[in-house]
């Protein structure tokens, strides 16, 4: 039972920033409430199957922790084997993301496929002379698949994979050769019937696109190069899988994440075989952890494999030029890229050159859109005041160069969360980051300790009323009230002649409310970033 006031989820307050309200909307969450310990009470508790699965996962996490003494190795093993990513450090996340290996830490089709193969192998060793043994074997196989899905958190990618492999297992039991595309479509349809919002889940979209790419393009790539050497042939198969998955997920990855790891193929050669070894060793550890000698031996093996994988991934991350950041494509460009890919597939299947022309036409439109945006970026002049709680940040854009002045001590992660996407959207490169008390200049602007001149436009950051001129009033276009400065707007008008008052997130809400009331009574235009979002001015 809860005693709390439900309020709407706030909108995204900075341009191109992550929209948490939209994300929750597609999770079917539309209101939020802040609850203290005294405001809720547990009336009854009946453990569900999912609850018991979470308890079992917590137990196995402790087993892993007891055998993996270092934090990085424990965090990676917990993510890969049990789908628990809370222990991953930012450094480890970045290493796997920047090398294109992050997918192995999100339990998905690769992991479920390994579980299905392991379970099929073990059940295949039991050749019981029962009439209904094939049916029992299939049921046990489905139990293994779905037990693993529940144990690892039942994420959309796991549900998709578990549903897909369930359909395949049932088809094999019926001795029917299923069409993989029909099976994929059936699994997607079933999941969307249960939860239509999955259609807007990034993991759901990427996982299905990756599987489609592997199913269609992997054989195409693999047949282009015949390698007699067995080891070389195995590596080429793995590389063909990585290329196929990357091809079909690339437009969506650029649309959502705006970056491309160039060494994805190299990390794939490391993590795909390692995933099978780690999953097998992890399951063996769970089964044998109570057996003194065997449990310790398997634990050391698991630790050694995990340590080696981490070392190799961090080594790949150190290779220069491994990550290209700042790609910004719109939804329209992403759709056109997929249309081009679809036209190329149809052209290959139909041998009709007109589809090749259609694919080239789609790519030409994407190139034209990109060129137009580049021309616009070269001529842009803009000023942005972001909304950052308890901080001030001002971004100036002059062509494809940007300058930034912000509060001292503002964490890089918080600043990037507010401003990075917008800088990428404008194709701008940040030249310098200055404190509000610093100074910087461009070709058409200069900034000096809170005073900004951009062409004919003037902005003044007001942090301390003692630094304001006494008389006559200083003429500016905009004043930015920052850091809860102790001054009333009526007093400010006697020292500064302005047309717009900006109130950013560095001010306490009660102080901002007082200024808004004063602005209303004085007839002053006011912009409060906590309600109106970041202030963006373009010339």
The residue extents of the domains of the chain are 51-325, 331-378, 382-538
pLDDT band at 156 (very low <50, low <70, confident <90, very high): confident
Residue keyed to tokens 């480890």? 92
Give the count of beta carbons closer than 10 Å to the beta carbon of residue 175: 7
Output 216 or 431, whichever has higher pLDDT: 216
Residues in the chain: 539
Indicate if the pLDDT at residue 45 is higher than 70: no
CB 310 within 8 A of CB 76: yes
Give 388's DSSP letter: B
pLDDT, mean of residues 474-495: 91
Which of 227, 268, 260, 275 is CA-nearest to residue 244? 268
Helices (H) and strands (E) in the chain, counts: 18, 18
Of 183, 243, 350, the residue nearest 191 (C-alpha): 183
Average pLDDT of span 88-93: 92
Please compute, for residue 35, the number of CA atoms within 13 A of its CA located in the half-sphere on the CB side.
Answer: 12
- Highest mean pLDDT among 206-220, 337-351, 449-463 belongs to 337-351
d(CA 22, CA 10): 10
Q: Coil, strand, or helix at residue 332? A: helix
> 302 near 68, Cβ under 8 Å?
yes
% the chain with pLDDT above 90: 54
Looking at the structure, give the CATH architecture of the domain made up of residues 382-538.
4-Layer Sandwich (3.60)
Q: Which helix (H) or strand (E) holds 295?
A: helix 292-317
The reported pLDDT for the residue numbered 537 is 94
Residue 322 pLDDT level (bands cut at 50, 70, 90): confident
Q: What distance in Å separates the CA atoms of residue 383 and residue 404, rounded to the nearest whole number?
A: 10
- Of 91, 75, 77, 81, nearest to 112 by C-alpha is 81
Q: How confident is the model at residue 336 (pLDDT cuts 50, 70, 90)?
A: very high
Beta bridge partners of 349: none
- Please tell me which residue, 397 or 109, carries the higher pLDDT value: 397
How much is the pLDDT for 317?
Answer: 93
Region 144-153: mean pLDDT is: 89
Which contiguous run of DSSP H or E holds residue 527? strand 525-528
Cβ neighbours for 350, distance < 8 A, ≥ 6 positions apart? none
pLDDT of residue 44: 66
What is the pLDDT averaged over residues 217-245?
Answer: 90
219 vs 206, 222, 294, CA distance in Å? 20, 5, 41
Residue 371 has pLDDT above 70, yes or no: yes
Could you tell me the pLDDT band of residue 42, with boundaries at 50, 70 and 90? confident
CA distance 92 to 451: 41
Answer for the pair 108, 156: CB distance below 8 angstroms, yes or no. Answer: no
Residues 123-142 have a mean pLDDT of 80
Averaged pLDDT for residues 32-46: 76
pLDDT of residue 465: 79
Residues 420-432, mean pLDDT to the nearest whole number? 92
| pLDDT at residue 335 is higher than 80 | yes
pLDDT mean across residues, the chain: 89
Q: Residue holding tokens 């070894």?
A: 277
Looking from the CA of 59 toward its CB, the CA atoms found within 13 Å total 12
Query: Which residue from 324, 290, 285 is spatially nearest to 305, judged by alpha carbons?
Result: 285
Average pLDDT over residues 18-36: 88
Query: How far is Cα 368 from Cα 442, in angstroms, rounded to an integer?
Result: 30
pLDDT at 331 over 70: yes
Residue 502 vs residue 123, higher pLDDT:
502
Q: For the ranges 74-78, 312-316, 493-497, 512-516, which has the lowest average pLDDT?
A: 493-497
pLDDT score of 120: 85
- Per-residue pLDDT at 535: 96
The reported pLDDT for the residue numbered 176 is: 66
Alpha-carbon span 488 to 19, nearest angstrom: 34
């Amino acid at each position: 039972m809860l005693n709390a006031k439900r309020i709407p989820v706030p909108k995204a307050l900075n341009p191109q920033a992550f929209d948490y309200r939209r994300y929750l909307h597609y999770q079917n969450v539309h209101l939020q409430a802040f609850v203290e310990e005294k405001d809720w009470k547990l009336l009854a508790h009946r453990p569900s199957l999912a609850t018991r699965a979470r308890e079992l996962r917590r137990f196995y996490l402790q087993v892993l922790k007891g055998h993996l003494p270092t934090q990085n190795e424990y965090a990676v093993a917990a993510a890969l084997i049990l789908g628990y990513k809370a222990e991953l450090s930012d450094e480890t996340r970045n290493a796997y993301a920047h090398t294109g290996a992050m997918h192995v830490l999100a339990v998905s089709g690769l992991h479920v496929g390994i579980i299905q193969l392991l379970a099929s192998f073990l059940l295949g060793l039991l050749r019981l002379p029962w009439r209904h043994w094939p049916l029992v074997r299939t049921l046990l196989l489905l139990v293994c698949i779905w037990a693993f899905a529940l144990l690892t958190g039942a994420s959309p990618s796991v549900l998709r994979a578990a549903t897909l492999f369930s359909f395949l297992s049932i088809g094999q039991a019926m001795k029917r050769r299923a069409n993989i595309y029909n099976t994929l479509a059936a699994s997607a349809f079933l999941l969307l019937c249960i939860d239509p919002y999955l259609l807007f889940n990034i993991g759901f979209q990427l996982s299905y696109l990756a599987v489609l790419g592997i199913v269609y393009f992997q054989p195409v790539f693999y047949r282009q190069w015949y390698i007699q050497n067995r080891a070389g042939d195995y590596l080429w198969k793995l590389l063909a899988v990585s290329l196929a998955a990357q091809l079909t997920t690339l437009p969506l990855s650029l649309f959502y994440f705006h970056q491309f790891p160039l060494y994805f193929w190299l990390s794939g050669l490391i993590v795909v075989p390692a995933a099978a070894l780690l999953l097998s060793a992890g399951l063996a550890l769970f089964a044998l952890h109570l057996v003194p000698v065997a449990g310790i031996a398997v634990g050391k093996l698991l630790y050694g494999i995990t340590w080696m994988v981490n070392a190799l991934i961090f080594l790949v991350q150190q290779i220069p030029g491994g990550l290209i950041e700042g790609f910004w494509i719109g939804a329209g460009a992403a759709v056109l890229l997929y249309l081009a890919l679809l036209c190329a597939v149809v052209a290959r299947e139909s041998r009709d050159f007109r589809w090749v022309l259609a694919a080239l036409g789609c790519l030409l439109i994407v190139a034209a859109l990109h060129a137009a945006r580049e021309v616009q970026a070269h001529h842009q002049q803009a000023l942005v005041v972001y909304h950052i709680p308890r901080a001030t940040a001002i971004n100036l854009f002059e062509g494809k160069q940007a300058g930034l002045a912000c509060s001292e001590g503002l964490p890089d992660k918080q600043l990037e969360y507010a401003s990075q996407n917008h800088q990428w959207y404008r194709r701008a490169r940040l030249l310098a980051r200055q404190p509000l008390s610093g100074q910087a200049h461009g070709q058409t602007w200069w900034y000096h300790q809170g005073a900004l001149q951009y062409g004919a436009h003037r902005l003044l950051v007001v942090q301390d009323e003692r630094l304001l001129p006494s008389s006559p009033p200083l003429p500016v276009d905009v004043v930015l009230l920052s850091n809860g400065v102790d001054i009333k707007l009526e007093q400010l008008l006697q020292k500064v002649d302005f047309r717009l008052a900006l109130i950013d997130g560095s001010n306490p809400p009660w102080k901002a409310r007082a200024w808004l009331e004063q602005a209303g009574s004085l007839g002053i235009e006011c912009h409060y970033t906590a309600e109106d979002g970041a202030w963006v001015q373009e010339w």
